[in-house]
Structure 1
Amino acid sequence: MMKRLLLVAGAALMSGLVIAQEPVAPPQVDLEQQQALRDAVSGTSRGITNVMRDAYRNPERTLAFFGVTPQQTVIEIWPGGGWYTEILAPLLREDGKLIAAHFDPESEVAFFRRSRTEFEEKMAGAPDVYDKVELTTLNYDPQLPIAEPGSADRVLTFRNVHNWLSAGEDKAALVFEKFYAALKPGGMLGVVEHQARAGTSLEQMIDSGYVTQTKVRELAEAAGFQLVSVSPVNQNVQDSTDHPEGVWTLPPTLRLGDKDRARYLAIGESDRMTLLFVKPE
């Protein structure tokens, strides 16, 4: 039996069936697509408090790095109050499609239910912006997809990985598998996440909200993704990542209230990784 397996493996190698994954070039947006991103970021439908966070979240450069264009089908994961939805919905409204995979409306977590309701109210309140947004659910039911299999060009998640790890590594793995299933071959996953220092334990990640790049890559690659590129666009070298209330010590949460408020405002929002993965052809 062992001899037969070795012969089969050798034949596969000789025929080219077993090969290392070739590097994938990062996507490029042309001048027209870049202008569309710029217009969406500067759109009048955005809330002023959200616009004020652009300095930390760098939406135009982040979306350009992810290769998001107006013609794509994009899934935004757990959009919360819709910070990025305010940009993506008008960007994709005419020629593309935005799918918002939000919290489960029947979740046992009251915050999840409330956030979903508020998001739906926001969508209904501005139909000229959000009328074409498709609302779906991301939960931990393996039978519930976030979109039709193989239908999306991009899946984007912003500052969510620590939540899935808090639910359990198996739940986090399932979420990445759902992303993989929803994407077309060649489709890409963009991840922005609070970045922990190398060597941070899983327990520390869950407690602090900061996750190591190694852990994110482990989850993505286990689901079948291949890393394409890493960007420094959302890094914040002022953030030590060592705070009394974890990432929630910093703005916009400022969990300590007025205690050392000026200090944490001066640091700004968290140090973040920005990673791009591809579902291989």
Structure 2
Amino acid sequence: MRLPAELLAFSKVKKGDVVVDIWPGGGYWSRLFSTLVGPSGKVYAYVPAEITGFKSDPLALAKAIASEPGHGNVEATSYPAAEQPQADLYNQVDVAWTFENYHDLHDSFMKGADVNAFNQAVFKRLKPGGYYIVADHAAVAGSGLKNTEDLHRIDLATVRAEVEKAGFVFDGETSVLAVAADDHQLKIFDPAIRGKTDRFVLRFKKPSH
């Protein structure tokens, strides 16, 4: 369950925008953003360099989107998660989006990626007034980073604290993906809960001044 109409509205992505889809996976959201921003907009399907060696070849998946009819405004990009943008790339992006992958930034396969530096890089790329949307699988409140690797979950409060540390201001939350029946104890791939996990969706804003 993704509820694209509700989440696209929450993201505030609009025609002509520049969007970065962080860790696009199969490209579900990249394709939707591509259609929404239109020919005058741009979508960067960003694959962290740390995961380009995965068996699924996530960079190839991202590159394939651009060759599809109607998605020529998508460009696959890859660089280390903590890499800071060059000066000429500051303030270029309207919306940065990451769906169900923020917790992975803390996992061992990311080779010790600096999450604070990653969030700072997102901050620098966004235009003043731009939005950063983080959706992920909820962990037990107060658990912090305890279950990012084993259950693939993360505490909402921890995400908020990390993102705000980079200079963002919390701008809202939607509960459309919340599931009260999920007690946050199972791994997200467990057949009993897969596709029915409790997920939070947070929106942060880069201050205009």
3-state SS, counterpart of residue 106 of structure 2: helix
Structure 2 spans left out of the alignment, 5+ residues: none
- The one-character-per-residue Cα deviations of 1:213-258 (angstroms, maximum 9, x if unpaired) are 1111111111000001111011122222212xx1122xxxxxxxxx
Distance 2:138 2:51 in 1: 28
Gaps of 5+ in 1: 1-55, 250-260
Q: Would you say 1:207 and 2:134 are equivalent positions?
A: no
The AA in structure 2 aligned to 1:235 is A
Contact 1:194/1:211 (8 A) holds in 2: yes
Q: Which residue of structure 1 aligns with residue 22 of structure 2?
A: 77
Give % identity. 26
TM-score when normalising by structure 1: 0.67
- Residue in 1 that maps onto 2:78: 137
Cα deviation code 1:238-280 (max 9, x no counterpart): 222212xx1122xxxxxxxxxxx4x446xx3321111010111
Q: Which has the higher helix share?
A: 1
Q: 1:164 aligns with which of 100, 105, 128?
A: 105
Distance in 2 separating the partners of 1:108 and 1:216: 21
2:197 partner letter: S
Number of residue pairs aligned between Structure 1 and Structure 2? 205
The amino acid of 1:81's aligned partner reads G
Q: Would the aligned equivalents of 1:76 and 1:157 in 2 still touch at CA under 8 Å?
A: yes
Match of 1:192 in 2: 135
Pair 1:278 & 2:194 matched: no
**Post-superposition CA distance 1:81-133 (Å, at most 9, x none):** 101112111222323221211232xx476317712113323432x1x222121
Asked if the contact 2:66–2:73 (Cα under 8 Å) also holds between the matched residues in 1, the reply is: no
Out of 37, 46, 60, the residue aligned to residue 117 of structure 1 is 60
- 1:103 and 1:113 in contact (8 A); partners too: no
Alignment partners' CA distance in 2, 1:91 and 1:100? 15
- Amino acid paired to 1:71: G
Shift of 1:77: 0.7
Give the distance between the partners of 2:74 and 2:173, measured in 1 at CA. Answer: 29
Q: 1:269 aligns with which of 187, 191, 196?
A: 196
Q: Which of the pair has the greater relative contact order for Cα pairs under 8 Å at 6+ separation?
A: 2
Separation in 2, partners of 1:88, 1:207: 31
1:176 to 119, 125, 132: 119
Contact 1:78 1:157 in 2 (8 A): yes
The structure having more radius of gyration, on CA atoms, is 1
Instruction: Tell me which stretches of 4 or more aligned residues in structure 1 moved more than 4 Å.
Output: none
Q: CA RMSD in A?
A: 2.3
Give the aligned residue type for 2:6.
R
Encode CA deviations 1:31-61: one digit per residue, 9 max, x unaligned. Answer: xxxxxxxxxxxxxxxxxxxxxxxxx111110
C-alpha contact 1:103 1:115 (8 A) present in aligned 2: no
Bigger proportion of residues as strand: 2
